Amino acid sequence: MVNFFAQRCVKFKQAKMTDNTIENIEEYFFTADEGRIYDIVIDKIGRLLIEKALEKTHGNRILASKILGLNRNTLHAKIKKLHIDVDRFKS
């Protein structure tokens, strides 16, 4: 099962990121509080990656953590910190 998701993940890894976080990164230098730019951008990219992994696994946190290369407890902590609603990805 993990190999199946690992193979499917190749396309995800090769996909071009089109999120505004990347395209508008320079804007953060003018709008973010000093010393917070790194945290803001990392949180936004982390949210994007976690949500995409949850979407691909239909909300399965264990499979999502394997795809992302994160410990399941680390993923759970990030989901909680970023206030991600996992239930919306379950089908």
Length of the chain: 91
For the entire predicted model, the pTM comes to 0.72
Q: What is the pLDDT of residues 5-64, one digit of tens each?
A: 555 544 444 444 445 666 777 787 788 788 888 898 899 899 999 999 999 999 999 999
Alpha-carbon dihedral 9, 5, 53, 81, rounded to 10 degrees? -120
Query: Which position has the higher pLDDT, 13 or 79?
Result: 79
- Sequence-ordered list of residues with C-beta below 8 angstroms from that of 54, at least 6 positions apart, any chain: 60, 61, 64, 84, 86, 89
∠ CA 60-44-3, nearest 5°, is 35
pLDDT of 2 higher than 70: no
